[in-house]
Structure 1
Amino acid sequence: MANALNNFSEIGKLQQVMLHRPGKELENLLPDYLEQLLFDDIPFLEQARKEHDFFANTLREQGIDVLYLEDLAAEALHTDSLKQQFLSEYLDEAYVTGKETRKEIEDFFLAIKDTREFIDQTMAGLHKKQLSISKNLNLSDMVEDNYPFYIDPMPNLYFSRDSFAIIGKSVSLNKMYAKTRRRETLYGKYIFQHHPMFSKESINLLYNRDFDTRIEGGDILVLSPQVLAIGISQRTDVSSIEKIARNIFASEASFQHILAFNIGEERKFMHLDTVFTMVDYDKFTIHPEIEEHLVVYSIAKKQGDPEIVEETDSLEQILCRYLDLSAVEFIRCGGGDFTAAAREQWNDGSNTLAIAPGEVIVYDRNPMTNQKLEAAGVTLHRIPGSELVRGRGGPRCMSMPFVRDKL
């Protein structure tokens, strides 16, 4: 398939997108372990799926081709040897170290003949009630005996934006911030190496999951075919931005500048796209709490090492200069009211998914921000999100664009 990936903007008409429909991994969330799994609450799976299906159908109604991570991963493991290879890496990264335990767990997974069911089980993790493993004297098998899982679930998978990012025709296969999320990128590795969609072309990796510093897709915004924005955040290191900049400038010819937004390391901000998204050529959502102290660095493509400068202009002026605009409009989360802004940003009011210039998908639960978007002339497609939002992510977080029309 020619041009399987094409993403040169945040707002070009969306043609193809990848999602993950929430699965049984959410039912393996337990109150005592929420923090380590990066959740604040436990979504109700049945309702979360209804909300997610509404989201997917909203996309389809606009003529967008919706793919699912779980289907692509299953289709990528099209031979027994690939399935075995994937499982070996998966168990390594799930820290299954006891020899006898590992053998019994491996046999459990390989007994699942349907590859899609196999993938679903790897995502759900493995609860101890599912498999009775014979006791032995191996310390690795005996320690943490009261812990409820042999393998932790991956409840963050429905935020499909984070584990990799499509930049131009290339992929950033990310190194995730939290240990609990690092297995998520394994699915992307096998999809881009072995899925029939990509087998006839060599996918260029701008970043690889085995690099030693973290970066996540929620921090990467493709503002134009020439300009990226990347957040310095709780989830993305400065050194990661320097690494990916060199690779982008070397292999994606159109990109000339990266704007690094230092948004701080607070969980409530988490990623750049939780406080700042692009909704039209000259319109952006923004959380007012970041504006006053935001520092932006520009990284320019040059012979040899990229040139890095701390910008001193206002954010409006910086965006006008790099995007060649006469003016920009900021649509402030909560309408600029700090109380409403804090509440609606927590519920992902700033996290919009543009499906065309000036046309976005938003949660219906952020009325003040949505009213301001409409007043600015933006067309809204509202989706319910009372359960989905419990994982702290919105429509952009839940979507991975593969193909957008060029502007």
Structure 2
Amino acid sequence: MSFHVDSEVGRLHRVLVHKPELALKRLTPSNMHSMLFDDVLWVQRALEEHEEWQRTLSERGIEVHLLADLLRETVEIPEARKHILDKVVDERWFGPLATDAIRNTLDSLDSATLQTHLTGGITKREIMDRDCAPKSLAFHTLAMDDFILQPLPNAMFTRDNSCWIYDGVSINAMRMKARKNETVNMEAIYRWHPMFASQYETRFKVWCPGTAMAPATIEGGDVLVIGRGAVLIGMSERTQPQAVEMVARNLFRAGSATTIVALSMPKARAFMHLDTVMTMVDEGRFTKYAGLGMLPSYTIEPGDNDKELKVTDHPPQDMHRAIGRALGLDDIEVLTAEQDVHAAEREQWDDGCNVLAIEPGVVVAYDRNTTTNNFLSERGVEVVTVPGGELGRGRGGPRCMSCPLERDGI
């Protein structure tokens, strides 16, 4: 069993997904913005849609791995459990008087219960129900239903906290506080879970080391492995230029990539990640939100030695040609449905461009984005639809909700 992602559109063989049941149940009108959501989802329907999404992948012959299963199996390993608890139970958040008691309480949980709380959060009331009531100023000032561990509803978007780039994985330092503990969980899974442990840094490489990368942050929604040794990265509100340089240096030193094209994106929530406005659907073909326009771009190549990088600036009008040249093409084909500005903005909000290619020219998309889906179909792209009435309100589509673990090249 090997792990590698050699393109965006080659045949997909294995993928990591997450169904965040408890975390979604803890999403409320009063906390949704701090958890980076714009709405409160109907949990039952969202979970049904997620199960349909999993079935669709499985029926296409794709092996689906569930994050909850991997994390539960990981925290059965003492070293992995210690790593996670050392990172998430920090006196800078809990105060020195409460830290040991909270950590010991969490450490006493069985693996399934600990996994549930690492992703779904745990409240002061739930901690006290386990006879933990430290004499701590920080602890006593919390209301009974305040969170000791924050829920991680955004872990549903498994693309972001880690992403595979050719023969290695980038364990990503997240930009927003609400998502930082996702990285801690992924560090432990890749380092200690039996599926990965024997290959860690031997048969696959680690491009970003996780939390140690901060304050340079990068998120997988901004990273497109477009193939043939090329990577396309959006420098968004979540992914910083210094992180792009660090990833480029590591990829080039290993000989795993030859070119990175970085796009300077608007720093706005509406353009949260590159894959919310532009994804690849076939060899040399991309779907793109009309409102994105043309962006300044930068081609990054190896320099004269392994400490140097060569950076070439491109004006906005050369954006598509810069991407094409990285693929060995004169240009790329961009597929953008013709619709009025209001309809286009609605479909972009509903992740019309956030499609997951499962093989060349075959993509999975939310059924609600009819204009974009029909436009792609008319141009020879097979569109497999999944329900997204509730999941789409989380501001992430099929690509966001998937972390490919094994994918062919082009």
2:235 aligned with 1:232, yes or no?
Answer: yes
Question: What is residue 326 of structure 2 aligned with on the other side?
Answer: 322
Question: What is residue 177 of structure 2 aligned with on the other side?
Answer: 179
Matches within 5 A, 1:284-323: 284-292=286-294, 294-304=295-305, 305-312=308-315, 313-323=317-327
Deviation at 1:335, TM superposition (A): 2.9
Distance 1:17 1:185 in 2: 18
Question: In structure 2, do the counterparts of structure 1 residues 93 and 228 end up closer, same or farther at CA, with 3 Å as the change threshold?
Answer: farther
Matches within 5 A, 1:380-395: 380-395=383-398
Could you report, residue by residue, the CA deviation over 1:128-186 in whole angstroms, capped at 9, with x for unpaired residues? Answer: 33233776663322344477222211110100000011011111111101011000011
State the AA in 1 paired with 2:13: Q
2:12 aligned with 1:11, yes or no?
Answer: no
Question: What is residue 270 of structure 1 aligned with on the other side?
Answer: 272
SS in 2 for 1:401: strand
Distance 2:91 2:376 in 1: 43
Deviation at 1:297, TM superposition (A): 0.9
2:254 aligned with 1:255, yes or no?
Answer: no
Question: In structure 2, do the counterparts of structure 1 residues 110 and 134 end up closer, same or farther at CA, with 3 Å as the change threshold?
Answer: closer
Could you report, residue by residue, the CA deviation over 1:11-59 in whole angstroms, capped at 9, with x for unpaired residues? Answer: 0100000000122011111222221110111112211111001111000
State the AA in 2 paired with 1:249: F
SS in 1 for 2:64: strand
Native 8 Å contact 1:98 1:141 kept in 2: no
Native 8 Å contact 2:168 2:206 kept in 1: yes
* TM-score of the aligned structures, taking structure 1 as reference length: 0.93
Distance 2:191 2:83 in 1: 13
Question: What is residue 109 of structure 2 aligned with on the other side?
Answer: 112
Native 8 Å contact 2:227 2:409 kept in 1: no
Deviation at 1:92, TM superposition (A): 2.3
Native 8 Å contact 2:14 2:63 kept in 1: yes
Deviation at 1:310, TM superposition (A): 1.1
Match for residue 129 of structure 1 among 104, 109, 125: 125
Question: What is residue 206 of structure 1 aligned with on the other side?
Answer: 207
Deviation at 1:327, TM superposition (A): 4.8
Q: Identify the range of structure 1 (316-325 vs 368-377) with the bigger mean alpha-carbon deviation.
A: 316-325
Q: Identify the range of structure 1 (154-163 vs 193-202) with the bigger mean alpha-carbon deviation.
A: 193-202
Q: Identify the range of structure 1 (30-39 vs 81-90) with the bigger mean alpha-carbon deviation.
A: 81-90
Could you report, residue by residue, the CA deviation over 1:217-236 in whole angstroms, capped at 9, with x for unpaired residues? Answer: 10000011311011110101
Native 8 Å contact 1:177 1:236 kept in 2: yes
Deviation at 1:94, TM superposition (A): 8.9
Q: Which runs of 5+ in 2 are unaligned?
A: none
Deviation at 1:246, TM superposition (A): 0.8
Q: Give me the CA root mean square deviation.
A: 2.0
Distance 2:124 2:405 in 1: 37
Native 8 Å contact 1:26 1:45 kept in 2: yes
Question: What is residue 56 of structure 1 aligned with on the other side?
Answer: 54
SS in 2 for 1:386: coil
Distance 1:93 1:268 in 2: 35
Native 8 Å contact 1:94 1:151 kept in 2: no
Distance 2:31 2:65 in 1: 31
State the AA in 2 paired with 1:263: M
Distance 2:320 2:292 in 1: 13
2:137 aligned with 1:139, yes or no?
Answer: yes
Could you report, residue by residue, the CA deviation over 1:326-368 in whole angstroms, capped at 9, with x for unpaired residues? Answer: 5532111x53432111100000001000000000000001111
Question: What is residue 366 of structure 2 aligned with on the other side?
Answer: 363
Distance 2:184 2:92 in 1: 11
State the AA in 2 paired with 1:102: T
Question: In structure 2, do the counterparts of structure 1 residues 78 and 145 end up closer, same or farther at CA, with 3 Å as the change threshold?
Answer: closer
Could you report, residue by residue, the CA deviation over 1:285-326 in whole angstroms, capped at 9, with x for unpaired residues? Answer: 10111114x111111122231111111353332233221235
How many residues are paired up? Answer: 400
Native 8 Å contact 1:126 1:149 kept in 2: yes
Q: Identify the range of structure 1 (350-359 vs 70-79) with the bigger mean alpha-carbon deviation.
A: 70-79
2:172 aligned with 1:169, yes or no?
Answer: no
Q: Identify the range of structure 1 (352-361 vs 72-81) with the bigger mean alpha-carbon deviation.
A: 72-81
Distance 1:134 1:53 in 2: 36
